[in-house]
Homo-oligomer: A and B are copies of this chain.
Amino acid sequence: MSASIAKNIEPITEHRANVLYQHGTLALLVPGLLEGTTTMGELLAQGDTGIGTGEGLDGEIIVLDGKAWRVGRTGVVEPVPDDFTMPFATMHRAAFQYQCERADIGLEELNRRIVEANGRANTFFAVIVRGTFSFMKTRAVIKQQAPYPTLEEVADRQAIFLGQDVRGTMLGYFSPVMFHGAAVAGFHEHFLADDHSIGGHVLDAVLERGEIHTQVFDTLVQHLPVDNPEYRNHDFTRDNIADAITKAEGDTAK
């Protein structure tokens, strides 16, 4: 037995399109462990596609084609610098497969059909919906300061944005129910308009017409902030993690 713990030499997701990389878990956010424990630069080494949030729940992040964008409380879409720190993010290397085209369909029904067509409610997968949305409702949480509040306390501290007839990309991740806590069971979806007029965490939407692409993962790589003192010392047994996540993540959490 050797005496030291080896370090990662290269990103663990290198060249692997079957792998979903996650830093932190939603369970960390529930009791307010909102310190940034990775950077956007580190995350971009693990994938070119993803969603997440900044330190203190600073905005809603979406990464498309290797470019990271953030929507904050003002609704303005801004590029994310590499040194931006984050407590939670989900990333992967895009290798989507065409599923189908859909028209005139609400978010809930759309999500139900995506799972059905995929036939895989027990696997992690990513979905991209590109097209025109006749209705889009998103939110962005207002950045919190330490000492951080719980996710439940933050739930009301959010800006809501509404869009109509907006072209753009909705990127979502589906997680199996047995990983509720580590992730949101069901879909967790962020949006970015092509003209950057609206973006954020999707609460509701109606797709006018769009193409659906999905990518199935057989492996979850779950990275934890093991050297963060707040994380190490927190007693998660006192948190009602599952309920808090379902409540805080709004309409899209199933």
Contact = CB atoms under 8 A, between A and B. Distances in A.
Interface string A212-244: 010111111111101100011011110001000
A1 interface: yes
Interface residues of A, number: 55
A146 interface: no
Counting every copy of the chain, the complex holds: 2
A1 B120 contact: no
Nearest to A241: B178
Contacts of A235: 121
A94 B5 CA distance: 9
B1 A213 contact: yes
Given A181-B178, A182-B179, A220-B222, A5 B215 contact: yes
Query: What 5 A-B pairs come out closest when comparing CB atoms?
Result: A27-B178, A6-B17, A220-B222, A1-B96, A123-B226
A25 interface: yes
Interface stretch (A8-16, A52-60, A81-89, A187-195): A8-16
A182 B176 CA distance: 11
Contacts of A164: none
Contacts of A27: 178
A226 B232 contact: no
Contacts of A123: 224, 226, 232
A205 to B, nearest CB: 21
Contact of A232 (B18, B120, B177, B178): B120
A97 B236 contact: no
A155 interface: no
Interface in A144-171: none
A218 B218 CA distance: 20
A61 interface: no
Given A12-B19, A120-B226, A6 B95 contact: yes
Given A16-B8, A177-B237, A222 B224 contact: no
Contacts of A121: 232, 235
A226 B227 CA distance: 32
Interface in A1-37: 1-9, 12, 15-19, 25, 27
A219 B215 contact: no
13 contacts: A2-B94, A4-B17, A6-B17, A9-B15, A27-B178, A122-B234, A123-B232, A178-B181, A178-B182, A217-B226, A218-B223, A221-B221, A222-B222
